[in-house]
């Protein structure tokens, strides 16, 4: 097994980079096809969600594989390789298996324990099977990941550790109030009719909203979702579909807006939201400057010019820019160095810093100096400047949840008084402080056990063609010797000939039984890959015979598994 995964997620990259690197379905298809067309890879699958982009491949060379997969990710995402590289992570062989199993269990999700990722893994496998880019390794891997994820949810309480991104987002909108109590009687506008939007509409319906309006570019899909929401006749919920061009007018009626489309540009601009607020209140929407409001806070931070002097050799240096200062508090030396590289390479952040009058290069140098201090004294102090003075922000009249990647809603909406916006970025910040359930440890143990079992099975499967070829060679030897015996003893009757043939075969089977069983056991252990080579050398097996057995086995397995994921 030479499994390699190269990717980026909410844990390794800022939302601004994930947003720009997002892949459409067509991009994912082309990426998988180009990967198997590249020299180091024989199989490929793409797992792309709202907060991760990962490319899985079976490669024959590690370094060449990393270089090729990274280049392909950069090409298809449209983010330059030099800019993308600092945010990429690489996992190989057992670590790659561990990573996917953890993802399938929800351990690597923005909201720990959410189960929606299982459907996304299933879709990724189905797409790879349809494209015929998944062979034995990736079929086995993704099928097993689905089983491990289901096991984690059925055998543990991981569901209690988190919930779907939709539910978590609604809790952030309501400031952790009881969502049904907060939503009851409100009017909701859902933009998009895909899986995430459908889940949002269903969640709002269960929470007790009075009306759900569905807007989608394909009117038929919106109408179908509206019908599903009102099926059964035992609900007072009103649901209807509207065209996308009716969204601005509908915003003036809605209390809650959820948007999750596949659009590559903004769906709701700050001007559109401001106009909706004005339509509801009769007064222009105020803009709060330097707003750092978060979904769990009802207050707005007001910028202060007073700063504390940082400790260490940086004390005589000018203050950090907002970008640098807000990023380094509490970091250890290694993390500071990594952040220094991020500042030095982040072109988008250079532009932001330039607008703020800061010097990114000075930030990078200052961070490097702080890293030296942190290596000696520990971490950079958590409190680097006074807490901002807070001013009460007016209660919102419009609640907006943006679950799209790239974002559907202009981030400037955060600064509009009368609106509360929760997006992927704010959800990532909120989830970082979420408590971890005790069941997470149990899931981690399940993942570790399953990774060991998967590795053993793959190593054992690797030696199977060699064992089959050995037994085929032994059968040929038996047949040859029986034919020679018949030539020398032509007077044998059928009963005698059958008895001799059976005896010879029993002897050969008994001689091969213990070694072949034992070699499979040894091959399943870590470091057991060399036993297949030893067996081929000891018995002088034809490599082409072994390869033909492996090809036939792979073709049979591919035909069976490409019928669809479990």
Q: Is the peptide bond before 406 cis (omega within 30 degrees of 0)?
A: yes
3-state DSSP of 482-506: HHHHHHHCCCCCHHHHHHHHHHHHH
Strand order in the sheet with 52-59: 41-49, 52-59, 3-9, 89-92
- Annotated ligand binding at 120? The verdict is yes
Name which of 31, 48, 150 is nearest 101 in CA terms: 150
Give the Å distances, CA to CA, from 21 to 7, 78, 242: 11, 6, 30
The active-site residue, picked from 15, 50, 204, 207, is 50
- Who contacts 546 (Cβ-Cβ below 8 Å, separation ≥6)? 465, 466, 469, 536
**Annotated binding residue at 115?**
yes
Cα–Cα distance, 128 to 561 (Å, whole number)? 11
Residue 260 annotated as binding?
no
192 is in an annotated binding site: yes
The answer to whether 197 is a known ligand-binding residue is: yes
The 3-state secondary structure of 41-107 reads EEEEEEEEECCEEEEEEEECCHHHHHHHHHHHHHHHHCCCHHHHHHHCEEEECHHHHHHHHHHHCCC
H/E element holding 4? strand 3-9
CB proximity list for 468: less than 8 A, separation 6 or greater: 549
Instruction: Tell whether residue 114 is among the known ligand binding residues.
Output: yes
Buried residues in 230-241 as b, exposed as e (16+ CB within 10 A) = beeeeeebebeb
Q: For 301-308, which contacts have Cβ atoms below 8 Å and span 24 or more sequence positions?
A: 301/388, 301/389, 301/390, 302/388, 302/389, 302/390, 302/391, 303/388, 304/385, 304/386, 304/388, 304/389, 306/385, 306/386, 307/384, 307/385, 307/386, 308/383, 308/384, 308/385, 308/386
340 labeled binding residue? no
- In angstroms, rounded to a whole number, what is the distance separating the alpha carbons of residues 566 and 553? 20
**Catalytic site residue 50?**
yes
Residue labelled with tokens 């009802």: 298
77 belongs to an annotated ligand binding site = no
- Rounded CA gap, 86 and 165, in Å? 27
Please check if 195 is assigned to a binding site.
yes
Q: Give the three-class secondary structure for 391.
A: strand
Query: What are the C-alpha distances in Å from 18 to residues 44, 454, 502?
Result: 21, 31, 66
439-488 helix and 94-104 helix, angle to the nearest 10 degrees: 130
Query: Annotation-wise, does 143 bind a ligand?
Result: no
Residue 316 has what DSSP assignment?
A: G
Residue 300: beta bridge partners? 391
Tell me the CA distances in angstroms from 109 to 10, 50, 103, 284, 431, one per residue in order.
9, 10, 7, 39, 10
The answer to whether 49 is annotated as binding is: yes
Q: How far apart are CA 147 and CA 118, in angstroms?
A: 9
Catalytic residues: 50
Q: Which residues are annotated as a binding site for NADP(+)?
A: 192-197
Which residues define the annotated binding site for substrate? 49-52, 109, 114-116, 120
Q: Which residues are annotated as a binding site?
A: 49-52, 109, 114-116, 120, 192-197
């Amino acid at each position: 097994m030479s499994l390699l995964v190269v990717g980026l997620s909410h844990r390794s990259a800022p939302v601004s980079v994930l947003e720009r690197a997002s892949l459409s379905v067509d991009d994912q298809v082309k990426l998988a096809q180009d990967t198997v067309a590249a020299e180091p890879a024989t199989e490929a699958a793409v797992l792309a969600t709202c907060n991760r982009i990962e490319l899985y491949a079976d490669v024959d060379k590690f370094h060449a594989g990393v270089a090729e997969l990274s280049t392909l990710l950069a090409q298809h995402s449209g983010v330059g390789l030099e800019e993308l590289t600092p945010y990429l992570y690489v996992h190989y062989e057992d670590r790659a298996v561990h990573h996917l199993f953890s993802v399938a269990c929800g351990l690597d999700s923005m909201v720990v324990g959410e189960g929606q990722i299982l459907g996304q893994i299933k879709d990724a496998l189905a797409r790879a099977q349809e494209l015929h880019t998944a062979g034995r390794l990736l079929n086995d891997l993704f099928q097993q990941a689905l089983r491990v994820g289901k096991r984690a949810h059925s055998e543990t309480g991981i569901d209690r550790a988190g919930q779907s991104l939709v539910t978590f987002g609604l809790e952030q909108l309501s400031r952790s109030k009881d969502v049904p109590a907060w939503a009851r009687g409100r009017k909701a506008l859902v933009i998009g009719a895909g899986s995430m939007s459908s889940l949002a509409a269903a969640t709002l319906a269960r929470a007790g909203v009075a009306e759900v309006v569905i807007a989608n570019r394909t009117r038929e899909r919106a109408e179908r979702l509206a019908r599903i929401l009102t099926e059964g006749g035992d609900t007072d919920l009103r649901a209807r579909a509207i065209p996308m061009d009716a969204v601005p007018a509908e915003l003036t009626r809605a209390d809650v807006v959820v948007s999750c489309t596949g659009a590559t540009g903004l769906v709701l601009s700050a001007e559109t939201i401001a106009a909706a607020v004005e339509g509801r209140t009769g007064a222009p929407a105020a803009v709060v400057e330097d707003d750092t409001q978060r979904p769990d806070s009802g207050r707005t931070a007001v910028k202060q010019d007073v700063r504390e002097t940082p400790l260490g050799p940086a004390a005589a240096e000018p203050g950090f820019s907002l970008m640098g200062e807000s990023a380094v508090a509490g970091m250890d030396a290694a993390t500071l160095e990594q952040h220094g590289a991020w500042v030095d390479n982040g072109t988008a952040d250079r532009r932001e810093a330039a607008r703020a009058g800061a010097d990114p290069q000075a930030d990078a140098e200052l961070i490097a100096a702080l890293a030296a201090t942190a290596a000696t004294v520990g971490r950079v102090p958590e409190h680097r400047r006074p807490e901002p003075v807070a001013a009460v922000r007016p209660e919102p009249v419009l609640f907006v949840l943006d679950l799209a990647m790239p974002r559907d809603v202009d981030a400037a909406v955060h600064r509009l008084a009368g609106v509360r916006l929760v997006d992927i970025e704010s959800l990532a910040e909120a989830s970082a402080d979420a408590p971890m359930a005790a069941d997470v440890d149990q899931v981690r143990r399940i993942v570790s056990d399953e990774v060991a079992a998967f590795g053993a099975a793959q190593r054992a499967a690797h030696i199977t063609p060699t064992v089959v070829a050995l037994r085929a060679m032994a059968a040929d030897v038996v047949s040859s010797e029986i034919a020679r015996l018949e030539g020398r003893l032509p007077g044998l009757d059928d009963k005698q000939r059958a008895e001799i043939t059976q005896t010879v075969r029993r002897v050969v089977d008994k001689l091969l039984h213990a070694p072949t069983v034992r070699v499979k056991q040894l091959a399943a252990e870590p470091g057991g890959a060399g036993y297949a080579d030893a067996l081929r050398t000891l018995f002088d097996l034809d490599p082409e015979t072994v390869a033909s057995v492996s090809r036939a086995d792979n073709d049979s397995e591919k035909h069976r598994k490409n019928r669809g994921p479990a």
